[in-house]
Structure 1
């Protein structure tokens, strides 16, 4: 650690890498705290106090530098001055919360502005707490310790969910805003293009939380209505190129806030077997697969983005190729092939 009184500029600076993906820089010492303030005296006082308390301290003197430091180092917590020239702390916070890599970093605002509007602005921008200037180092350190412990517990809980294959997110049903999400859920939402950034607000800024796409949002609102009327929710299944994604409404976690679980599965091997075994096209194999799952023509159309009439046409071709006349018979032949795992020539006699 640095000796008491050492200026913050002696702390190792982390070069920014704005505009390209980064991984967290591993720094020796304890939890990493990034201090952002344009006043050197404030930086010096906080740097020394945190350093003596066992934290690894990074500093930034303006908003752009703060964004670069955060993207590169992924600090465990950010102490952020609200009022700075150029990018102020509120805009810095909004940008950090809009990026998945930095969205979960706790932000504690430092401000000499105690009017209600400024306090509300700090929380709206994504802050979890604020401290007023002049800074009292012992109070700041106590708040940091509490927030780091809470963040650690939340991170461990999300990692545990992902470790068991539960891609989980909390969403507001009214507007589809994603309140929090595990890394696996974020990857699935991105891979299936099911979430978008929040629209620009009146001041030109974006909210820190993305929102669900329209189709998923409509499904969520319909399911919350079902639950409110005493009915069971129905999962939404999406399909593309042999992949399936099931969206399941798990539980309410608060007023108008719901927990969703995403589960991805691959049907590619089964589809290839059906296509090879019965001489089906890729689309016909998909239709037959969902017939085996007990889906109606309308259900299959919703899953595959086809009209029920188009599904019916595909089924006519499937029936002809399988030499059957009913859905039940087609499903029976498909199940026998899947169970045997062999193409039609090696299929056991019906």
Structure 2
């Protein structure tokens, strides 16, 4: 059990049964966990606006949004890729277990849940999750655009550079990736995205059926080249990359925030992007190419 000075792992407990909530919350707190409670799937999703748990304990059968749909929705959050999700079910049938794992769950326990087994399972999954998180952090630090897709083409995880390419309103490559992964995947997939064309190269498939993919922007001759940025636009983009707001940039460069925003509109058009984050990702790649 952690001491008062140690960080306590946070368990998000999702169950619509009050008696089960009270029993499990008390058992987990006795084991040294901090417990957050949600009585339905929607409240569980809203919890993510305030804190990302270290592990989720999820009832499979709840009215409204059931545990399986809740799990799928939790997995859509960019910070939940490596968080273990453990299902609780009163059913021992294989179909329920398979449905939970297919929805993105890591493990399951059959009710009534034994506190000692629950604690042991949670701590085992936390050890694996910490190793996974460390690996993700190492990949993030490379600055490479890497992403992991499941067999249906859904994005499971991405480095910041890859997410900047994919998190644009007009970008949805799910179906194209699904068809690509259904084939041999020897040749790169080329898709149209907001920043031009994107080449997706498979780096291998995990035992869970996830494909690690490298994303490489390709030159699009139909768009103005990034080299056409004016010196003033380059100055604005450099300060955007440093995290400055439009007002800060205006103060630094001696212009109004409205003028800064007008420069950004021109920058987005020239780089072929739609968001501030994507523009910064393009800027970072330009800087790397010049080195």
Contact in 1 for aligned 2:170/2:193 (Cα 8 Å)? no
Report if the CA contact (8 A) 2:190-2:197 is conserved.
no
* Aligned residue runs from structure 1 range 111-260, under 5 A: 111-172=89-150, 175-191=152-168, 193-195=170-172, 211=174, 213-214=175-176, 224=185, 227=186, 233=187, 236=190, 245-253=198-206, 257-260=210-213
| Conserved 8 A contact 1:219-1:236 | no
Contact 1:223–1:234, Cα closer than 8 Å, also in 2: no
Q: Does the CA-based 8 Å contact 2:82-2:132 persist in structure 1?
A: no
Partner of 2:50, secondary structure, is helix
Find 1:262's aligned residue among 200, 215, 221.
Answer: 215
Equivalent residue, structure 2, for 1:38:
16
Query: Shift of residue 56 of structure 1?
Result: 1.4
Confirm or deny: 8 A CA contact 1:82 1:111 kept in the other structure.
yes
Output aligned runs, 1:80-119, within 5 Å: 80-119=58-97
Displacement after TM superposition at 1:256 (Å): 6.7
Which of the two has higher C-alpha Rg?
A: 1
Instruction: Report the CA distance shift for 1:189/1:115 in structure 2 as closer, same or farther (over 3 A).
Output: same
In structure 2, list runs of 5 or more residues that go unmatched.
231-271, 273-289
Match of 1:76 among 54, 66, 71: 54
Q: Give the structure-1-normalised TM-score.
A: 0.54
In 2 relative to 1, CA 115–75 (structure 1 residues): closer, same or farther, beyond 3 Å? same
CA deviation after TM superposition for structure 1 residue 258, in Å: 3.2
CA shift at 1:129, angstroms?
Answer: 0.6
1:333-344 pair list within 5 angstroms: none
Q: Deviations over 1:128-177 (max 9, x none)?
A: 111111110010011111111211221221121111112212335x6434
Task: Give the secondary-structure state (helix, strand or coil) at the position aligned to 1:87.
Answer: coil
Gaps of 5+ in 1: 2-27, 197-210, 228-232, 274-303, 305-338, 340-350
Deviation string 1:238-293 (CA, Å, 9 cap, x unpaired) is 7877x7755333334459753211245999553459xxxxxxxxxxxxxxxxxxxx
